[in-house]
Amino acid sequence: MFQDIHPHTISYDPGHGAPQADDHVVFLKGGRVLLGQGEEPALPVFGALPPALQARPDALTYMFSMDGAGFYCCAGETEPFGPFAYSNMRQLRGLEPPQLAFACATAVHIAGWYGRNRYCGRCAAPMQAKGDERALACPECGDVKYPNVYPVVIVGIVHGDSLLLVKNARGEYRYHGLVSGFVEPGETLEAALAREVMEEVGLKVANPRYYKSQPWAFSHSLLMGFFADLDGDPAVTLDGKELAEARWFGRHELPPAESLMSLTWDMIEAFRNGAA
């Protein structure tokens, strides 16, 4: 899956210091990320920045390191320069090598959080990076903010030798998937998956069993996968808002894998192979 980058690791090093020539820099604008426009899109490195930006390393905030290279984000919006242009951040999924793709997506997640929290939500003072950990602190009231990670449940609904696949009615992803949704405040994961299944396809489930998790930077989420057994009538009632289609597929009727990096398709493949 996307996060399988071993033996490479992402680590926070407060003593990383000033950005070096090969350190990566994230620039965001209107939900898009600045990427090189060659055959393999890439984040700009500090050594490729215009001299005016290189002369202002204080405008860059350290986020983390991987394999000795730092990842920084730039405050505010910057106009494109050189061979770089703002692009859909899903292009990050095509970066090579795979560990760089995952690191860049994670960097965009954190950079977006920094950009949305430039001012204190309690007193409106400018926030400052907290030097000893990845956090923001208000110098006026002392409020501290940490990066947001939103919990999401993904449910593989099993009916004998069949699995329910769905297609979204909204958003960019229109391929087959599984029922999923954000966990509400005060909900357990089990309660969230039962609610999402009922809301989206009108089914009851039983015996939820945890499968695997995946950090998913594109929705600022931590995805948590479960399989659960159908409890009762298999007739589907679509909600008409979230989903455009829901259909039972026999184990040997499942469509070919549409993505080898996502938890959704890891779960579908596990069911296809009899491992779930």
pLDDT at 146: 95
**Residue 210 burial (10 A CB sphere; 0-12, 13-18, 19+):** exposed
Ordered strands of the 136-137 beta sheet: 128-129, 136-137, 144-145
Q: Is 66 among the domain residues? A: yes
User: What CATH number is attached to the domain comprising 107?
Assistant: 3.90.79
Q: Is 189 among the domain residues? A: yes
pLDDT at 94: 76
User: What CATH number is attached to the domain comprising 197?
Assistant: 3.90.79.10
CB atoms within 10 A of CB 168: 16
Q: Is 125 among the domain residues? A: no
Number of domains in the chain: 2
Q: For the chain, what is the HEC assignment?
A: CCCCCCCCCEECCCCCCCCCCCCEEECEECCEEEEECCCCCCCCEHHHCCHHHHCCHHHEEEEEEECCEEEEEECCCCCCCCCEEEECHHHHHHCCCHHHHHHHHHHHHHHHHHHHCCECCCCCCECEECCCCCCEECCCCCCEECCCCEEEEEEEEEECCEEEEEEECCCCCCCEECEEEECCCCCCHHHHHHHHHHHHHCCCEEEEEEEEEEEEHHHCEEEEEEEEEECCCCCCCCCCCCEEEEEEEECCCCCCCCCCCCHHHHHHHHHHCCCC
pLDDT at 273: 93
Is 110 found in the same domain as 173? Answer: no
pTM over cut 0.95: no
Q: Is 108 among the domain residues? A: yes
Whole-angstrom distance, CA of residue 129 vs CA of residue 236: 49
Is 110 found in the same domain as 204? Answer: no
Closest to 262 in 3D by CA, of 173, 134, 151, 197: 173
Q: Which domain holds residue 24?
A: 10-116
What is the mean pLDDT of each successive set of 10 residues along the chain, which is 276 residues long? 93 87 92 82 90 86 92 88 89 85 91 92 94 92 96 98 91 81 97 97 97 94 98 92 92 88 95 91
- Which among 101, 116, 131 is the end of a domain? 116
User: Do strands 69-74 and 60-66 pair parallel, antiparallel, or not at all (unpaired)?
Assistant: antiparallel
Residue 147 amino acid letter: P
| Assigned token pair, 116 | 């949305």
Q: Is 221 among the domain residues? A: yes
Find how far residue 99's CA is from the centre of its chain: 15
Is 26 found in the same domain as 86? Answer: yes
Q: How many residues does the chain have?
A: 276
